[in-house]
Chains A and B, each alone.
Chain A
Amino acid sequence: AQSVTQPDIHITVSEGASLELRCNYSYGATPYLFWYVQSPGQGLQLLLKYFSGDTLVQGIKGFEAEFKRSQSSFNLRKPSVHWSDAAEYFCAVGTQGGKLIFGQGTELSVKP
């Protein structure tokens, strides 16, 4: 079955600290993976995506993600979190027809 799991529902980090949001996927073929961010009252904005090539992907706003096939993971990282990064983060896998299957999301809070 195709699925995406984000084990952490809510994470709190201090401003300036590093961040890692976990994502595990289940997909039979080569996965096409995405991270989106959703600020309150907003739609989803693409942070980065992976579909081939280098397993370390750079995105916007200083985010990066690493694809690890052996672990079926696509974790999102940022070396130093800013207060403006507080939002909800969604990992997704692209399926046939372009339909996205999303994880449940991780809500990030940033302490001053």
Chain B
Amino acid sequence: GAGVSQSPSNKVTEKGKDVELRCDPISGHTALYWYRQSLGQGLEFLIYFQGNSAPDKSGLPSDRFSAERTGGSVSTLTIQRTQQEDSAVYLCASSSKVARSDTQYFGPGTRLTVL
């Protein structure tokens, strides 16, 4: 079956603009995660969604970052007033449930460049 997909694959934007990154998880997966991969910080957790529960936003670096998940499926990560330090690869992952042992399946990522 189809894996996790993300769009766009690349995004170049100017400092101060807003951007939206999209993630389509594997069908039937109830858990969805966003991670950020940057040279200085490595791979870091941003936010996760589990079904209809309130999301865990503990990894979001500032209030410029937000995410939503509509209908328990597609998720959008929004970065407002982008800064150069937001440049990174944003990875989305999904799993069948929220559990420490469950495998997360990753999408190819969106490379964000803020000029």
Contacts and interface: CB of A to CB of B under 8 A. Distances in A.
Nearest to B35: A100
Interface residues of A, number: 25
Contact of A102 (B43, B99, B109): B43
Interface in A12-66: 32, 34, 36, 41-46, 49, 51
Interface in B14-71: 31, 33, 35, 42-45, 48, 50, 56, 59
Interface string A59-96: 00000000000000000000000000000001010111
Contact of A45 (B95, B98, B106): B106
Interface in B59-108: 59, 91, 93, 95, 97-108
Contact of A90 (B43, B45, B48, B56): B43
A98 B42 contact: no
B100 A95 contact: yes
Interface of A: 32, 34, 36, 41-46, 49, 51, 90, 92, 94-105
